[in-house]
């Protein structure tokens, strides 16, 4: 099976909303480290977490996350 690499705009969206990693993590029910890893592209979050983060950022799922090379 092909390894799927995701890209994201989570950090850009978070900073634009004036949130720290810790604040976003608390809202999403994860650790600050998880948010940092997602923003760095070192962790692919579950669909549930992607949806929660998109809702917190006030953006659609595909505005925040996409498959590398497909956008």
**Total domains present in the chain:** 1
**pLDDT tens for each residue of 2-52:** 777 889 999 999 999 999 999 999 999 999 999 999 999 999 999 999 999
Whether residue 5 contacts residue 52, with contact meaning beta carbons closer than 8 Å, is answered with no
Give the contacts of 53 (CB within 8 A, at least 6 positions apart): 10, 24, 28, 38, 45, 64
Residue 43 located in a structural domain: yes
Buried b (16+ CB within 10 A) or exposed e, 15-32: eeeebebeebbeebebee
Evaluate if pTM is beyond 0.85.
Answer: yes
Report yes or no on 51 lying in a domain: yes
User: Which CATH number covers residue 30?
Assistant: 1.10.260.40
CB 50 within 8 A of CB 64: yes
Is residue 71, in this structure, part of any structural domain at all?
no
- What's the domain range around 40? 6-61
In a domain, 20, yes or no: yes
pLDDT of residue 70: 65
66 in a structural domain: no
Between 68 and 60, the more confident residue is: 60
**Residue indicated by tokens 């978070």:** 14
């Amino acid at each position: 099976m092909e390894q799927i690499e995701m890209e994201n705009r989570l950090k850009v969206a978070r900073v634009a909303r004036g949130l720290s990693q810790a604040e976003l993590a608390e809202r999403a029910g994860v650790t600050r480290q998880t948010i940092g890893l997602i923003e760095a592209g070192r962790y692919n979050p579950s669909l549930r977490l992607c949806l929660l983060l998109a809702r917190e950022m006030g953006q659609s799922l595909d505005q925040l996350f996409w498959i590398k090379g497909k956008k």
